[in-house]
Amino acid sequence: MMRSADGAHPARIAVLAYPGVNELDLFGAYAVLAKAASVAPGELEVLLAGPVPHLSTSGGVPIGVAADLRYFTAADAVVIPGGRGAADAALDEELLAAVRDASAAGTPVYGVCSGALLIAAAGAARGRTIAVHHAKRGAIAPGSVGVVAAGLVRDGRLCTVGGDHRTSVKSVDLAFQLIDDLVPHLVATVSEGMEIVPGRIARPELRGSP
């Protein structure tokens, strides 16, 4: 059974939700991760966490979150979706501090599309390779990242997806990668149950940084 590093609780995954988050980035990842949690009770806990208890997505869908940003300190992995609100979220110092602290503590960080803007703004991508939506490359501040790439890429504990065109969904592929990283024995079960085969895998040439 996969549990957190201290073995005292299920592996905890925080999926960030903020005003203006993209629905597909958010729920594509959350649906896959929640499915994994449902087929392995006690192994995974997946919660939406954010800076405000109630918010609207980029398409105007009202949602509530289950936890505030303090949940990041307890998480064993953090997912940062993109969206129209990413640029504004990247100015939220409390939110950035939560991402920064999680990364500094060694928590794996997973970013979808323009979620890379938040990761970069938090200083969690300095010197690292990061993927971002092709139209958002210019929004990343110079010096805040190492290399901007495309696809599903990993650089140590940072794994991001964006900047390419595939028939598969970026957030879904990233969530399957997270499951493969944390609880690999659940990948086949989740894939079969959801009738989904991920279309991207992390590019191996970008692995290996601590």
Domains of the chain: which residue ranges? Answer: 11-194
* Mean pLDDT computed over every residue of the chain: 91
Structure tokens at 100: 């920064």
> pLDDT-derived band of residue 151, with 50, 70 and 90 as boundaries?
very high
What is the pLDDT, as a whole number, of residue 3? 45
C-alpha–C-alpha distance, residues 46 and 15, integer Å:
7
DSSP state of 55: E
Question: Where does the pLDDT of residue 2 fall: very low under 50, low under 70, confident under 90, or very high at 90 and above?
Answer: very low
pLDDT digits (tens, 9 = 90+) for 62-97: 999 999 999 999 999 999 999 999 999 999 999 999
Average pLDDT over residues 97-103: 96
Nearest-CA neighbor of 99 among 140, 143, 69, 127? 69
The partner residues of 110 in beta bridges, in order of sequence, read 79, 159
Q: Does 24 score more than 80 pLDDT? A: yes
Please give the biggest Cα pair distance in the chain: 43
pTM for the predicted model, two decimal places = 0.92
Query: 11-194, what's its fold?
Result: Rossmann fold (3.40.50)
Q: What pLDDT digit, counting tens, does each position of 171-196 carry?
A: 999 999 999 999 999 999 999 999 99
pLDDT digits (tens, 9 = 90+) for 109-150: 999 999 999 999 999 999 999 999 998 998 898 889 988 999
pLDDT band at 204 (very low <50, low <70, confident <90, very high): low
Integer Cα distance of 12 and 72 in angstroms: 9
Q: How far apart are CA 129 and CA 27, in angstroms?
A: 25
Q: In the numeric block, which tokens belong to residue 67?
A: 């936890």
Q: Which residues contact 41 (CB under 8 A, 6 or more apart)?
A: none
DSSP 8-state assignment for residue 9: S
